Amino acid sequence: MPATDYQGSFLGRISIRRNQVMSMEGNHEQELEDLELFQKHVADRFAELAPPSPSQPSDDIPSDPILSIAWIRKLLDVFLCCDAEFKAILIMGRDPSQISKPPLDRLIPEMLDRDVKALDICNAITNGIEAVRHYQKLAEIAVSALEQRPFGDGQVKRARKALTSLITAMACEDKDGANYTRTWSFGRRGAAAAGNNKSTGQLRSLSWSVSKNWSAAKQIHAMSANLVAPRGAEASGLALPVYIMSTILLFVMWTMVATIPCQERSGLATHFPVPKQLVWAQSIIGLHEKIAEEWKKKEKKGSAGLLEEMQKLDKLGQSLIEFTDSFQFPAEDERAEEVSAHLAELGETCRRMEEGLVPLQVQIREVFHRIVRSRAEFLDVLDLNGKSSALAM
């Protein structure tokens, strides 16, 4: 079932069930059923993102390679759907006092703090996509130059210059944070301001420059620091969906940091604090292990980022530089055919980047706004409960 179908049927079911405020004690079985269904949807959605096994029928193999632009867009769609269902479970038609009781009185503030860190990462990734678009333009210059026939010294020199700039820029992506001009919408003061502006329903610009010491890797580490799976009775209560959604948020942000250039990624943790026996988390853990293995290779070799299209630019760019360095007019037929094949693949990669990068950037902004709205909704509920408690006193 498509993710949107999952979401529509699930939200409709909860909406009908909670047409009036209900107490947890009077609807325990229904709550358990909703939690089980939410876990099933999470498991199914992430299973669809997993790469095919060797034994999987060819008809079932997804067309979008893992860590490609199209795959990341599917990942963000999954996040948005899961977030909508999560809020339905936690706050739709629910007595506000229920999310102010232990352990939620601790878990919800931790989750809201995690949200603020995720907002900074979304901004970092949005700016990182600008760097990827720059790589795309350099590759396009090389393609345009070498597509002209017959090859001449002028075209080859132009292509070599663009390709050298491309490879150098990608090799330096993690080493020179000054290459990125960062503007941030949230920080410590910004988090408070977001709470003050939550009633407007609009995202107000709260921007200033961030310190050059800001680190995406440290931000991810901070998001995972207090993420602990609920145990005992808490494992079947409302603490569970909070943990699940926090895990999804952490995985999505970690994946984007590992895939798209952003400030200071060196030392990015590859440990994922999720018990392997959790059924709903199996696909997430499998994806994390695969991406973490690729990240370890990247850090060891110092190669280009994990974005599938960037890896293509790196590989093809290196091959074409070898051709330009050894070029002699007229080019040998066999060599010219090899270059033509590489150019066609490079041109196709640029086309996919042209079609996908701007929509991806828009989608990351949508995730940013969704996190802001979801955070504001929880703050509203907490404020309402605080006022009700004050009146009762």
259 occurs within a structural domain: yes
pLDDT at position 368 is 98
Q: pLDDT band for position 106 (50/70/90)?
A: very high
65 occurs within a structural domain: yes
Instruction: Name residue, tokens 């009185």.
Output: 105
Length of the chain: 393
pTM of the model: 0.87
Give the residue, 226 or 30, on which the prediction is more confident: 226
pLDDT at position 148 is 82
Q: pLDDT band for position 202 (50/70/90)?
A: very low
Mean predicted lDDT score pLDDT of the chain: 83
392 occurs within a structural domain: no
Integer CA distances (angstroms), 123 to 39, 114, 224, 246, 386, in order:
29, 15, 19, 19, 32
pLDDT at position 179 is 47
Residue 56: CB atoms within 10 Å:
12
Residue 257: CB atoms within 10 Å:
24
Strands (E), the chain: 183-184, 208-209
Residue type, 145: A
pLDDT at position 59 is 55
pLDDT tens for each residue of 34-71: 999 999 999 999 999 998 876 665 555 556 999 999 99
387 occurs within a structural domain: no
> In this prediction, what percent of the chain has a pLDDT beyond 90?
59
pLDDT at position 305 is 78
Distance, CA of 164 to CA of 169 (rounded, Å) = 8
20 occurs within a structural domain: no
Residue 43 burial class via C-beta count within 10 angstroms: exposed 0-12, middle 13-18, buried 19 and up: middle
- What mean pLDDT comes out for the span 113-141? 96
Count of domains forming the chain? 1
pLDDT at 160 over 70: yes
Structural domain boundaries enclosing 186? 3-15+27-50+60-381
Residue 176: CB atoms within 10 Å:
10
217 occurs within a structural domain: yes
Distance, CA of 367 to CA of 122 (rounded, Å) = 8
393 occurs within a structural domain: no
pLDDT at position 339 is 87
Give the residue, 297 or 94, on which the prediction is more confident: 297
- What mean pLDDT comes out for the span 325-353? 85
pLDDT at position 334 is 73
pLDDT tens for each residue of 300-324: 776 677 999 999 999 999 999 998 8
Strands 183-184, 208-209: pairing kind = antiparallel
Q: pLDDT band for position 212 (50/70/90)?
A: confident
Distance, CA of 329 to CA of 152 (rounded, Å) = 7
Residue 195 burial class via C-beta count within 10 angstroms: exposed 0-12, middle 13-18, buried 19 and up: middle
Instruction: Name residue, tokens 């994946």.
Output: 255
pLDDT at 23 over 60: no
- Cis upstream peptide for 150 (omega within 30°): yes
Residue 379 burial class via C-beta count within 10 angstroms: exposed 0-12, middle 13-18, buried 19 and up: middle
pLDDT at position 123 is 94
390 occurs within a structural domain: no
Angle at Cα 312 formed by Cα 307 and Cα 317, nearest 5°?
A: 130
